[in-house]
Amino acid sequence: MGQTLVHKILGEHLAEGRLTAGEQIGIRIDQTLTQDATGTTAFLLYESMGAELVKTDLSVSYVDHNMAGFGPENHNDHLYLQTIAAKSGAYHSRAGNGICHQVHLERFGKPGATLLGSDSHTPTGGGIGMLAIGAGGLDVAVAMAGGPFYLKCPKVVGVKLTGELNDWVAAKDVILKLLSILTTKGNVGWVVECFGSGAALLSVPQRATITNMGAELGVTTSIFASDEQTRKFLAAQKREEDYRPLAADSDAEYDRVIEINLSELEPMAACPSSPDNVKAVREVSGLETRQVVIGSCTNSSFADLMMVAAVLKGRRINEMVEFAIAPGSRAVLDMLAENGALAQVISAGARILESGCGPCIGQGFSPADGVVSLRTFNRNFAGRSGTKGDQVYLVSPETAVVSALTGRVTDPRDAQDLFGMAYPRIELPDEFAVNDNMIEPPLNQGKVARIEVLRGPTIVVPETPKPLPKNLTSQVLLKCGDKITTDHIMPAGTFLKLRSNVPEYAKVVFNCFNEEGKPTFAQRALELKRRGIGGVIVAGESYGQGSSREHAALCPMYLGVRVVIAKSIERIHKANLINFCIVPVEFADPGDYDNVEQGDELRIGYLLEAVKSENEIKIARADGAYEFAGRLALSERDRQILLSAGLLDYTRSKVDA
C-alpha cells in the first residue's frame, strides 16, 4: 500500500515512535515561527529552560498582532522580541512587514519541511507542501531548543478535489464547504490532505486559504502536494532552489475520502457565530451590511487584492458601508502601490489598514452595534470583533467586494447583471517584489550574540506550576457549554497587550462570563487558591477550540485551576493544559455532565496515583450526592509532564539528565 504525503513527511522526520494511527510520535522540527501575542511568553520560557542558540534550521519571530501601541506594553514586547531573537539566533520580522503566515509562505516556507508555530493558523504552510502545525508557545520553545514535537500519529482524510472553480467562486468557498461537512468539532487526531485534478489547478495562495482555515476544523494540519504550482510560486519569490516535488503515492489509501467537485460549488458564507454555521450566500442575500473588511492571514494575498481592485476600478463603495483592506504582507502592499491597484481601491472609498492581524483579533475596526459585518477572516466567534453581540459573516473576497458596492449581502455571480461586470481572473506574476529589509537575520550565525536583551517593566517571567497534590479538594469555578473557544477563556482585543504580564492578564480569565456587581472568575479562583482549594472547570464538547494561545492554560494555572473536566477537549488546548500541569479529564459518560453544577465541591481522591498509571479517575461531590468516572486519555509522556509539574520542569530534568 502506498503512502500519503502526510506519512511520507512524518516518516522523514520521525524521532520517536511508530507511524501507527493513534500512537504518540515525536518528530524533528525544521522551522519554527512565533508572533508577538504568543512569542514573548515563548521566548521567556525558552530562556527559563537555560536554552541559548536555537537548534532548528530556521526560527522566525514575527511582530504582526499587537501593533497598535496604546500605552508602552506592545512596544516593550517588540523590543524584547527583537533583541532576544538577535541573541538566540532567530530571524526577526518587524512590525509592518506583514502577517507571519503570509510572510513565511512567501519568504521561508519549504516543501517537505516541518514547521511548528505558536499560532493555530500555522497550517497555512500546508499550501506550499509543508507539514505545518500550530502549538502552544512552550512546545515551540522546546522545538527551538532542539527537542522533538510530540503528537498522536494522525489519521488522514483525503479531500479529493475535481472540476474547476467557476467565475466568482473562490478557494474560501472550498474550505467553507468542507467546514459544512466536517464541522468544527470531532476532528482531533486527523489531518486533511487535498489531492486530485481540481487541487492541481489551484494556485499556492488559493491552497493556503484552504489550509489556513483547516485550523477551524480542529484537525492537526492540512496539506497540498508540492507540484508545478508550487515551483512557479517559489520561482516568483526568487526561491526556486527551495522547490521539491512531493505527492502521495498513486495507490495511497486514506482513512476517509471526501470528494468535492469544484465545478458544483457556489459562494458560501459562515454565519454568526461559528465558522461551521455555513450557508450559501444566496440564502442570506439581501441582508444590509454596514461594514466590509478584506484581509487577515486567510485572504490578503496579491491575487485576492488585485481582484478587489479590478472590481472597484471606476466604482464607489456604498455610502453606508465602512470598507477596509489589510494587505497580508508589505510585499503585497508594495506591489499594489507600484502597479496602481492601491489607488483604485482608495479612490473607491477604502480605508487601508496595516499589514497585520488587526480587526481579525479585535484590534480595532470593530463593527457598530447591531450591524452585519462581512469579513474575509477565518473566525467569527461571538465578540471576537470587539463588539458584544456582533453579527460577523465570513465570506470570500469576491462576495465581500461586490457586497460592499451594493450595501447588502450579494451573491457575486450577480455582478454581471448588476454592474455589467465580467469576473476579473488574476494571474500570479512571474516575479514578486522582494524586499527583505524589514527581516533581520540572526547576528553572529552559529554563535550566541553578545547583545543586551531589552526587558521593559511590563514583561514578567511566568510563574512555574505547582506539583499536583496526592488528593484534590476542589470546587467547580465555572460550568460552561459546548464550543468554548480560547477567546472565551482569554479575551483578545484590547486585553492582548497584557499577555507578557500573567498576573494582570489573569484578571480577565473568562471575562465574558463575569457579571457586573459579582466577584469575577479570577477573584473567586484566587480566593480558593488562598484557601488551598483547587479550582475545576467543567465544559461540554470541543472545549478550547480556536487559537493556540497558551495563556488559556497559563492564566488559569496561575489562578489555581488544577483540573478541566469536559465532554471533549481540542488538541492544542489539551497539550497546553498538560504543559502547565492542569489535568485534562473527559467524562466517561457524557450524561454525567448534567449532574455537575457550578459551585459544587468535588473530591478527587488518588489524583496523583491516577495520573501515574490509570485510565480512569473517580470524582465525587463532597456530600456524596453523585459520583462519576472521568477518562484520562494520556500518553506516557503526558503523565511524566504532569508528574514533573509541567513541561518546563520536565524539559529541565531531561536536559540535566
Report the side by side order of strands in the sheet with 91-93: 131-134, 114-117, 31-35, 58-62, 91-93, 439-440
- 379 annotated active-site: yes
The one catalytic residue in 36, 119, 242, 638 is 119
| One-character DSSP codes across 579-590 | HTT-EEEEESSG
Separation between Cα atoms, residue 33 and residue 35, nearest integer Å: 7
Separation between Cα atoms, residue 397 and residue 304, nearest integer Å: 7
- 290 annotated active-site: no
Provide the Cα torsion 136, 137, 139, 140; round to 10°.
120
Q: Which cell goes with 247?
A: 505527492
The one catalytic residue in 93, 120, 222, 547 is 547
| Neighbouring residues of 594: CB distance < 8 A, sequence distance ≥ 6 | none
- 530 annotated active-site: no
- 551 annotated active-site: no
- 384 annotated active-site: no
Q: Which cell goes with 167?
A: 467565475
Separation between Cα atoms, residue 185 and residue 486, nearest integer Å: 14
The one catalytic residue in 13, 65, 78, 413 is 65
- CB atoms < 10 A from the CB of 21, how many? 13
The one catalytic residue in 488, 524, 549, 551 is 549
Number of H helices, E strands in the chain: 23, 27
| Neighbouring residues of 365: CB distance < 8 A, sequence distance ≥ 6 | 291, 293, 324, 353, 358, 359
- 65 annotated active-site: yes
Q: Which cell goes with 154?
A: 494522525
| One-character DSSP codes across 85-127 | HHHHT-EEEPTTSB-HHHHHHHHT--TT-EEEESSTTGGGGGG
The one catalytic residue in 64, 77, 242, 304 is 64
The one catalytic residue in 379, 413, 488, 571 is 379
Separation between Cα atoms, residue 585 and residue 15, nearest integer Å: 28
Residues catalogued as catalytic: 64-65, 119, 379, 547, 549
